[in-house]
């Protein structure tokens, strides 16, 4: 039975989420992998990395995203481990976005495998939100041969939660006016903005479900969580007027590398920072943006994580200033430590046309850089590289990290260690911890 059209005054928002995306693409392209436990994220169970995505067959063994590969190997000894193929997943993501844009121009990608759509203005052409969601599922399956889960609601918040409830291949519709009732029985960690620290604090007030949170007085939440408390109360009641927009979708561009063996070797650390800076700069140029802020992330053998950040005097999309800044930030922090992981991120993104009044860019250097970019685009990331990186046994820049737009609410500010027992049914960590 077709759902009646929503009232003209209500918005119709869809959240679409590709199911076990990386693993599904591998199973699509290699039929012999269908029905088997596929674990994407490294070459094998002895690698030092983490799981990017696991197929549903692997999840039956307890394998989850962000789990160390070695733990995944212990839980699923017959799992098929594959490295991340960023270019292939990015191509599939673009194919899916092309399908979504057949229904509305208001598409907001928030990661490589999920997006919001505002189809309010599309209802007259395609029917109700449920009708549109069903058609999108059918067309993604027929055109791209992937399954997608869809949530339909009047807000981004509720649509996002709805899409997660019946994965894989789900379709959940929340009718206008039913938002608070729909959210009430759900576990509190499903709500945007509630991470482990917030959930622990809320349990002190007897909060176990979103409905419990909605029943708390606003002033209590504000006293305990500050401004974040007021937004928590609104979300718990299903209130969210955030529009669907693709403006400023990409908030940052970054890359991380986990060493096979913890290292304190200065040359290895510096070459790794150079390789990541090269990849960050390349993706900035590909996206037509420049960055004003550089952040380095350092994790030592005890899993202690340090982040350091610096604002540049001039926006850039070139390797050299990014690398020099990353090196200056990292050098004093890595002395005497065994380093497990390094990361370089560029943020404060703006259009490439932004020019400095005080520094002139060397046009010859840019011409050389753009020529190298053209070679990589045609023949692959490894077709041309810096002499210092030859034989360094590092991944080609972003070979394992395709560029995706990032919703700031999907960033994990607290950088927690993964919970191997968690099963949220999705491929991303969607909470951000408030500062308590």
Provide the phi-psi class of 156: left if phi over 0, else alpha when psi is between -120 and 50, else beta.
alpha
Q: What's the CA gap between 220 and 233, in Å, rounded? A: 10
Residue 114 annotated among the catalytic residues of the structure: yes
Q: Which two tokens stand for residue 412?
A: 């994990």
Cα distance between residue 147 and residue 258, in whole Å? 31
Please state, in angstroms and rounded to a whole number, the distance separating the CA atoms of residues 305 and 301.
Answer: 10
Q: Which of 114, 399, 428, 433 is catalytic?
A: 114
Q: Distance between CA atoms of 229 and 212, rounded to whole angstroms?
A: 14
3-state secondary structure of 18: strand
Tokens 């290292």, residue? 263
CA distances in angstroms from 140 to 26, 29, 102, 310, 331, listed in the order given: 16, 15, 11, 42, 47
How far is 349 from 353, CA to CA, in rounded Å? 12
Q: How far apart are CA 347 and CA 72, in angstroms?
A: 32
Instruction: List active site positions.
Output: 114
């Amino acid at each position: 039975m077709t759902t009646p059209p929503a009232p003209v005054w209500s918005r119709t928002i869809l959240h679409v989420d590709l199911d076990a995306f990386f693993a599904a693409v591998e199973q699509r392209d290699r039929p012999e992998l269908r029905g088997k436990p596929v674990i994407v994220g490294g070459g094998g169970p002895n690698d030092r990395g983490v799981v990017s995505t696991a197929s549903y067959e692997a999840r039956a063994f307890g394998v989850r995203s962000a789990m160390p590969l070695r733990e995944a190997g212990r839980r699923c000894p017959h799992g098929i481990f594959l490295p991340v193929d960023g270019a292939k997943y990015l191509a599939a993501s673009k194919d899916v976005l092309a399908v979504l844009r057949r229904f509305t121009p208001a598409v907001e990608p928030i990661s490589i495998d999920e997006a919001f759509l505002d189809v309010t203005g599309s209802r007259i052409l395609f029917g109700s939100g449920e009708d549109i969601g069903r058609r999108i599922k059918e067309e993604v399956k027929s055109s791209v041969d992937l399954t997608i889960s869809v949530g339909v609601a009047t807000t981004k918040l509720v649509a996002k939660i709805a899409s997660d409830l019946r994965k894989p291949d789900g379709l959940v519709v929340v009718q206008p006016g039913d938002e608070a009732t729909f959210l009430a029985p759900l576990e509190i960690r499903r709500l945007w903005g509630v991470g482990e620290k917030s959930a622990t604090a809320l349990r002190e007030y007897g909060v176990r479900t979103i409905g419990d949170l909605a029943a708390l007085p606003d002033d209590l939440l504000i006293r305990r969580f500050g401004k974040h408390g007021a937004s928590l109360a609104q979300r718990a009641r299903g209130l969210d007027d955030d529009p669907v927009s693709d403006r400023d979708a990409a908030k940052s561009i970054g890359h991380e590398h986990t060493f096979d063996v913890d290292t304190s070797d200065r040359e290895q650390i510096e070459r790794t920072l150079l390789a990541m800076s090269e990849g960050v700069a390349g993706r900035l140029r590909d996206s037509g943006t420049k960055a004003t802020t550089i952040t380095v992330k350092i994790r030592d053998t005890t899993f202690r994580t340090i982040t350091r950040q610096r604002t540049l005097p001039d926006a850039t999309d070139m390797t050299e200033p990014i690398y020099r800044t990353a090196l200056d930030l990292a050098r004093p922090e890595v002395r005497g430590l065994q380093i497990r992981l390094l990361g370089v991120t560029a943020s404060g993104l703006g259009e490439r046309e932004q020019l400095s009044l005080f520094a002139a860019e060397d046009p010859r250097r840019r011409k050389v850089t753009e020529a190298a970019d053209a070679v990589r685009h045609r023949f692959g990331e490894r077709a041309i590289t810096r002499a210092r990186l030859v034989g360094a046994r590092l991944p080609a820049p972003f070979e394992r990290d395709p560029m995706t737009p990032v919703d700031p609410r999907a960033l994990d500010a607290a950088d927690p260690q993964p919970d191997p027992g968690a099963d949220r049914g999705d491929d991303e960590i969607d909470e951000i911890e408030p500062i308590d």
